[in-house]
């Protein structure tokens, strides 16, 4: 066998993160020892319930809300589904049949809205975005009608890293009587999650994006908002979400979220330094690389580019062989790539959008990792462009 790549550099922390060893420790007792169903009346159930409620308290603390305003879910996708379907259906009787969102949402929001518009009596308005992906509060104000039930806008975009002026947008929605939800899945550890300051009514998070376990998330639901459960079943979570609670996962998420809040200044500084080095290095190695998203209003960990004329999937294959794990919005494992809807919404042409790449740094990323990735990306892009010449 030929030698393994010189390094293995994981630069896909926006896709998922490893579970922090401290989080693993916090979860350990809740696998085999404290295994009860938190809804059972006996001692085993009560122990689990205590752990779940303590976790709820910790999550509420980070979000600056009451513990009763936190609903535990299976992750970001379910939180988004519950927020949108739950408020949309609850508002229908009051004549609220209009939804507002953006073309740069995660598909958990986008497809849920699309389904409601296709199968239920809802109409969805997509707000315009500028080429960096930002939404204008005035456009939002113009779009909201008396019948608008919910506005949902992503906090920090997963593909292009752009961070929305959430408080301004939420205010515009509230002034016209609409609820405001945000998918904040990319935010923990990097952006404020203070729901009061952000003035949001609903907010989705997912543990595996901030060094917690997969399969667990939470939805903040402002007190007094009625929510039809998207997952019907038992009376768990105050009737807002049926299903036995994932005790270990919930404990892990709460611990990971507390760490993310506590370490946020250090993480943001660490990420920003690496991200800036990465961005500058790539622009030096590939001078015509097109940075995507907003240059300053963006996630500290997030760098994204388009290499015009390249196929993102093939670029990722070459980087994988060199030990660099990255992602591309157009890449798929089936060889049938489609350009990212987000990049098309930003105005990039179809073929240009195929050459996207996303590099996201994490707690464990080093300067050496970043330098290695820059070198490999520079060499690979040059090589693929030479190859492409042959078939132009």
Partner 1 sequence: MTETNKRVVVAMSGGVDSSVAAALMVEQGYDVVGMMMRLWSEPTSEGGAHNRCCTPEQLSDARRIADKLKIPFYVLDTQDVFRGKIVQYFIDTHTDGFTPNPCIECNRHIRFDWLLNNALALEADYLATGHYARVEHTTDGRFLLKKGLDDAKDQSYVLSVLNPSTIDKVLFPVGEYEKPVVRQLAAKFGLPTASKKDSQDLCFLGDGDYRRFLRDHAPQLMAAGPIVRKNGDVIGQHEGLANYTIGQRKGLGVFAAEPLYVLAVNPAVNALVVGTADELGSTSLTASRVNWVAGSPPAASFKAEVKIRYKSRPVPATITVLDGGRFSAAFSQPMRDITPGQGAVIYDGDICLGSGIIERRPA
Query: Given the rule CB under 8 A, which residues bind partner 1?
Result: 1-2, 311, 313-314, 317-318, 320-321, 333-337, 383-384, 387, 390-391
Q: How far is CA 27 from the centre of its chain?
A: 23
Select 15 or 92, whichever has its Cβ closest to partner 1. 15
Q: How many other CB atoms are found less than 10 A from the CB of residue 29?
A: 15
Helix or strand (DSSP H, E) at 24:
helix 21-27
Select 66 or 383, whichever has its Cβ closest to partner 1. 383
Q: What is the DSSP letter of 335?
A: S
Least distance between partner 1 and beta carbon 188 (Å): 32
Q: In whole angstroms, what is the distance from residue 259 CA to residue 253 CA?
A: 10
Radius of gyration (Cα) for the chain, nearest Å? Answer: 22
| Residue with token string 């879910």 | 73
Q: In whole angstroms, what is the distance from residue 244 CA to residue 60 CA?
A: 20
Q: What is the largest CA-CA distance in the chain?
A: 71
Least distance between partner 1 and beta carbon 263 (Å): 35
Q: In whole angstroms, what is the distance from residue 34 CA to residue 48 CA?
A: 6
Select 149 or 339, whichever has its Cβ closest to partner 1. 339
Least distance between partner 1 and beta carbon 16 (Å): 20
Select 42 or 386, whichever has its Cβ closest to partner 1. 386
Least distance between partner 1 and beta carbon 2 (Å): 4
Pick from 111, 116, 76: nearest CA to 99: 116
Q: How far is CA 43 from the centre of its chain?
A: 37
Least distance between partner 1 and beta carbon 341 (Å): 18
Cα 272–Cα 154–Cα 343 angle in degrees, nearest 5: 80
Residue 292, C-beta contacts closer than 8 angstroms, at least 6 positions apart: 159, 160, 304, 305, 306, 343, 346, 348, 356
Select 141 or 317, whichever has its Cβ closest to partner 1. 317
Tell me the three state secondary structure of residue 327: strand
Q: Which is the catalytic residue, given 120, 321, 332, 382?
A: 332
Active site residue 65: no
Select 94 or 321, whichever has its Cβ closest to partner 1. 321
- By DSSP bridging, strand 123-126 and strand 98-101 are parallel
Instruction: Retrieve residue 337's tokens.
Output: 């790539």
Least distance between partner 1 and beta carbon 391 (Å): 6
Which residues is 220 bridged to in the sheet?
70, 203
Looking at the annotation, which residues are catalytic?
332
């Amino acid at each position: 066998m030929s030698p393994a790549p010189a390094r293995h550099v994981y630069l896909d922390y926006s896709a998922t993160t490893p579970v922090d060893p401290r989080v693993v420790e916090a979860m350990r007792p809740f696998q085999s020892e404290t295994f009860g169903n938190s809804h059972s009346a006996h001692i085993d159930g009560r122990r689990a319930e205590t752990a779940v409620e303590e976790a709820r308290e910790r999550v509420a603390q980070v979000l600056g809300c009451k513990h009763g305003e936190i609903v535990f879910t299976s992750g970001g996708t379910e939180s988004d589904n519950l927020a949108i379907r739950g408020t949309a259906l609850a508002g229908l009787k009051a004549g609220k049949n209009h939804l507002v969102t953006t073309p740069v949402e995660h598909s958990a929001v986008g497809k849920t809205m699309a389904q409601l518009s296709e199968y239920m009596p809802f109409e969805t308005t997509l707000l315009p975005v500028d080429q960096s992906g930002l939404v204008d509060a005035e456009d939002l104000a113009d779009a909201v009608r008396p019948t608008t039930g919910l506005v949902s806008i992503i906090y920090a975009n997963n593909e292009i890293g752009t961070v929305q002026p959430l408080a301004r947008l939420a205010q515009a929605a509230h002034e016209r009587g609409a609820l405001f939800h945000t998918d904040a899945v990319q935010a923990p550890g990097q952006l404020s999650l203070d729901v009061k300051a952000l003035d949001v009514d609903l907010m989705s998070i997912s543990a595996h994006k901030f060094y917690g376990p997969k399969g667990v998330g939470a939805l903040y639901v402002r007190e007094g908002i009625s929510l039809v459960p998207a997952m019907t079943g038992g009376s768990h979570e105050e009737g807002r979400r049926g299903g036995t609670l994932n005790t270990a996962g919930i404990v892990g998420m709460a611990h990971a979220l507390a760490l993310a809040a506590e370490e946020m200044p250090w993480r943001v500084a660490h990420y920003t330094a690496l991200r800036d080095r990465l961005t500058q290095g790539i622009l030096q190695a590939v001078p015509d690389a097109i940075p995507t998203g907003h240059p300053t209003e963006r996630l500290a960990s997030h760098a994204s580019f388009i290499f015009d004329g390249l196929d993102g999937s093939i670029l990722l294959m070459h980087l994988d062989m060199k030990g660099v794990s990255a992602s591309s919005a157009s890449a798929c494992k089936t060889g049938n790539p489609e350009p990212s809807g987000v990049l098309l919404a930003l105005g990039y042409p179809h073929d240009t959008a195929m050459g996207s790449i996303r590099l996201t740094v994490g707690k464990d990323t080093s300067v050496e990792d970043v330098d290695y990735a820059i070198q490999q990306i520079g060499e690979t892009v040059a090589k693929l462009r030479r190859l492409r010449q042959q078939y132009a």
